[in-house]
Chains A and B, each alone.
Chain A
Amino acid sequence: MDEAEPIVRVRDLAVGYGDVALLEHMTFDVRRGEIFVILGGSGSGKSTLLKHMIGLDEPMAGSVVIDGDDIVTATGDARRAILRKIGVMYQSGALFGSMTLAENVRLPLEEYTDLDPGEIELIARMKLSLVGLALFTGHLPAEISGGMQKRAAIARAMALDPMILFLDEPSAGLDPITSAELDALILRLSRNLGVTFVVVTHELPSIFAIADRVIMLDRRVKGIVAQGDPRKLRDESDDRWVRQFFNREPEPAPVPA
């Protein structure tokens, strides 16, 4: 397996709402097996970019090629084949409220595999145990906390062991211990199974713990303002805003005239 081979190719992507472009001329690759983090301030278009990368929204221009197939133009079975390769955890968890956690995780396995119900049950239990929810498999989403819902959503996204996992703000709202455990889980899956991660997050400790590469979005330039190793960007970037972001510094107070 070639580590440097791109698994997601984004080319000249323009995204926005109506006629207003939020991001333009977005061109970057996500390499196979890496943990790729999308950063940026509030309103910079991180989640919008993610939605376009997973084919939920149609871009104004450009292409998103996942493992050789363009998700923007694919329809029917071709699109289903692409979606089978990805798993997505949404910011809010987006668990199905009428199903228990185990049923949420079982759903994609029941739809996509021919395994027996008992085998599917075991896999679901293992996925939930991986995210620390072994004691809550029979609970409904409404009966557990927001942080637990996020972890359950990650378990559901991992149900089919996809090649690429897209995580939208996975550690937001989690306590530091759970957040660190989640980072360790992401690293383990990435290093041992070669799973590629595309993560949108604000959490600096998490970024430094897991990210192989980051891109930073900025609404002023409607695109990527910096990309590379987050540690290098923090220490060596020429851009004041980028250094501020990584060092958690506020905007300097305006100088009185």
Chain B
Amino acid sequence: MAALAISDTPDGRRVLSLSGRLDATTIRRVWAEGRQAIAAAPGRRVVVDAANVDYCDGAGIALLVDLIAQRKAGEVQVAHLAPAFETLLEQFDVHELAQDRDPPPPRRSAIEEVGVLAAGIGQDLREQIVFIGEVAAALVYAIRHPMSIRWKDVWRICERVGADALPIVALISFLLGVILAFQSAIPMRRFGAEIFVADLIGLAMLRELGPLMTAILLAGRSGAAFAAEIGTMTVNQEVDALTTMGLDPVRFLVTPRIIAALLMTPLLTLFADLISLVGGAITLQSFSIPYVTFIHEVEGIVDYSDFMAGFVKSFVFAVLIAGIGCLRGLQTSAGASAVGDAATRAVVSGIVLLVAVDGIFAVIYYVLDI
């Protein structure tokens, strides 16, 4: 253990005699006592006598440095420190260490924060517009030169975006069909109108909820995966390697993902529509509506334009999900949290865009009377 004895010499000096082992686990008490002893002797010279110090590691040296730094240069002296430890102490400029030489930047005012935030949003919008242009150019190139597309990558991504997503899409759409049917059938039964629940499910799912829920699921699943994958590649300088090889990262990384999403999202939407109708039909069985009646009712109310209204949206949603996922991946900065941030931003921006674009579709359909 470390110990501290305090004494005063006849010539007015204060002597702090340290003894024992000075390391991170032993010095807490003597550190506080040492500081107090120096503070209690203002204007007097202080000698820290280290003759009885058996061991002094980096933490012990920090204690000595701190005691010396309590006063101006030369007023606190360390004496009789063993040469091995003295060498360690000599490595430091005590008074330079006492101040933080890399202080954190001053905090911005609220107005500055708002300004920085607005500038950030403006910059992000500009990047999104530039990216849309780059993707459009890459897709036009891909259509003109179909052999330039990396089809092996496209099929691999199709499997991950499409086939691997079937269970979760099935689960959510089935649940949606069941809940929608059950919640609406109870009040409608009071009016003997439970048969119209089939109309409700058919229209709501095919026009709106089928495409939107599938897209939101894919934004959380595949959009985040795209952002994380490309983000990791950005952090590992793999994207830089592509660029210096003269290969366009957009053509190489983004195009296959957008094509895969374009192929898979509409198929998953069809699948979600079907499963939600199954969920609704099963639920309505318990309200004494047989399958045949359900199918007949849905056939009667849902026409081709309703189906297409939802189906067309899924193509646009596919481009949005894949595009924003890839963009966030390419925007990834350095650091361990950057990839996580990219994935989060991909999901959040993806869902915001989906909702906004879905609203635009609603207005267009209303105007066109679809």
Closest chain B CB from A68 CB (angstroms)? 19
**Residues A122 and B57 in contact, CB atoms below 8 Å apart:** no
Q: List chain B residues, Cβ under 8 A from A112.
A: 24
Is the pair A161, B100 in contact by a Cβ cutoff of 8 Å? no
Chain A contacts for B61, CB-based, 8 A: 126
The answer to the question of B333 belonging to the interface, with a C-beta cut-off of 8 Å to chain A, is yes
A67 to B243, CA, bound (A): 51
A157 to B24, CA, bound (A): 14
A97 CA / B333 CA spacing, docked (Å): 12
Q: Which residues of B contact A130 (CB under 8 A)?
A: 91
Cβ of B115 under 8 Å from chain A: no
Are A125 and B87 CB-contacts (below 8 A) given A97-B336, A142-B335? no
Which residues in B have their C-beta under 8 angstroms from that of A161? 23-24, 57-59
Given contacts A115-B28, A135-B101, A188-B87, contact A123 B337 (CB under 8 A): no
Interface size on A, residues (CB 8 A): 34
What is the CA–CA distance of A125 and B69 in the complex, to the nearest angstrom?
14
Q: Which residues of B contact A193 (CB under 8 A)?
A: 57, 84, 88
Closest to B88 in A: A192
* Residue among A98, A109, A119, A137 making CB contact with B102, cutoff 8 Å: A137
Residues from chain B with a CB closer than 8 A to the CB of A116 are 28, 31-32
A125-B97 CB under 8 A given contacts A139-B102, A161-B58, A192-B88: yes
Are A125 and B24 interface neighbours, CB within 8 A? Answer: no
Instruction: Give min CB distance, B57 to chain A, whole Å.
Output: 4
Q: How far is the CB of B329 from chain A (nearest CB, A)?
A: 17
Question: Is residue B369 within 8 Å, beta carbon to beta carbon, of the partner chain?
Answer: no
B25 at the interface (CB under 8 A from A): yes
Structural contact, A142 and B333, CB atoms closer than 8 A: yes
In the assembled complex, which residues on chain A have CB atoms less than 8 Å from the CB atom of B10? none
Which residues, 1 to 37 on B, are CB-close (under 8 Å) to A?
Answer: 23-25, 27-28, 31-32
Q: Using Cβ atoms and an 8 Å threshold, which residues of chain B touch A188?
A: 87-88, 91
Within 8 Å by CB of B87, from A97, A134, A140, A192, lies: A192
Nearest chain A residue, comparing its CB with the CB of B55: A193
Contact A127 B58 (CB under 8 A): yes
Does B143 interact with chain A (Cβ within 8 Å)? no
Report the bound CA distance from A105 to B176 in whole Å: 51
Q: Does A136 contact B (CB under 8 A)?
A: yes
Residue in contact with A119 in the complex, picked from B31, B91, B101, CB distance below 8 Å: B31
Q: Given A188-B88, A193-B84, A98–B58 Cβ distance below 8 Å? A: no
Decide yes or no whether B322 CB sits under 8 A from chain A. Answer: no
Most buried by A among B24, B28, B85, B334: B24
* CA A112 to CA B58, docked complex, whole Å: 15
User: B65 contacts which of A109, A114, A126, A136 (Cβ < 8 Å)?
Assistant: A126
The reply on A242 being an interface residue by CB < 8 A is: no
**Inside 8 A of A122's CB, which chain B residues have their CB?**
62, 65-66, 97
Chain B neighbourhood of A123, CB < 8 A = 24, 58-59, 62
In angstroms, Cα B62 to Cα A158, docked, is: 13
Assess the A137–B59 pair: CB atoms within 8 A. no
B58, A126: Cβ atoms closer than 8 Å? yes
Q: How far is the CA of A136 from the CA of B104 in the complex (A)?
A: 10
Q: Pick the most buried of B32, B91, B104, B333: most chain A CB atoms within 10 A of its CB.
A: B91
A134-154, CB < 8 A from B: 134-142
Contact with A along B322-334 (1 / 0, CB 8 A): 0000000000011
B112 at the interface (CB under 8 A from A): no
Residues from chain B with a CB closer than 8 A to the CB of A115 are 24, 27-28, 31, 59
Q: Does A160 contact B (CB under 8 A)?
A: yes
Contact A126 B85 (CB under 8 A): no
Knowing A129-B97, A130-B91, the reply to whether A113 touches B58 (Cβ < 8 A) is no
Give min CB distance, A224 to chain B, whole Å: 32
Please measure, in the bound complex, the distance between the C-alpha atom of A205 and the C-alpha atom of B61, giving whole angstroms: 30
> Chain B nearest CB: distance from A118 CB in Å?
8
A116 to B97, CA, bound (A): 17
Q: Among B97, B104, B335, B336, which residue has its beta carbon within 8 angstroms of that of A138?
A: B104
> With A126-B58, A126-B97, A134-B96 known to touch, is A96 a contact of B336 (CB < 8 Å)?
yes
Contact B58 A158 (CB under 8 A): yes
Minimum CB–CB distance from A215 to chain B (whole Å) comes to 28
Cβ of A122 to closest chain B Cβ, rounded Å? 5
Q: Which residues of B contact A137 (CB under 8 A)?
A: 100-102
- In the assembled complex, the Cα of A191 lies from the Cα of B31 at a distance in Å of 26
Known: A114-B28, A115-B24, A126-B92; 8 extra A-B contacts, CB below 8 A, are A123-B24, A125-B100, A126-B62, A130-B91, A137-B102, A138-B103, A142-B333, A161-B59
Interface positions of B (Cβ within 8 A of A): 23-25, 27-28, 31-32, 57-59, 61-63, 65-66, 84-85, 87-88, 91-92, 96-97, 100-104, 333-338
Q: Please, could you name 16 A-B residue pairs with CB atoms under 8 Å apart, sorted by A?
A: A97-B334, A109-B24, A113-B24, A113-B25, A119-B63, A125-B97, A126-B65, A126-B97, A134-B102, A135-B102, A138-B102, A142-B333, A188-B88, A192-B84, A192-B88, A193-B88
Closest 5 CB pairs of A and B: A97-B336, A97-B335, A161-B57, A142-B334, A138-B102
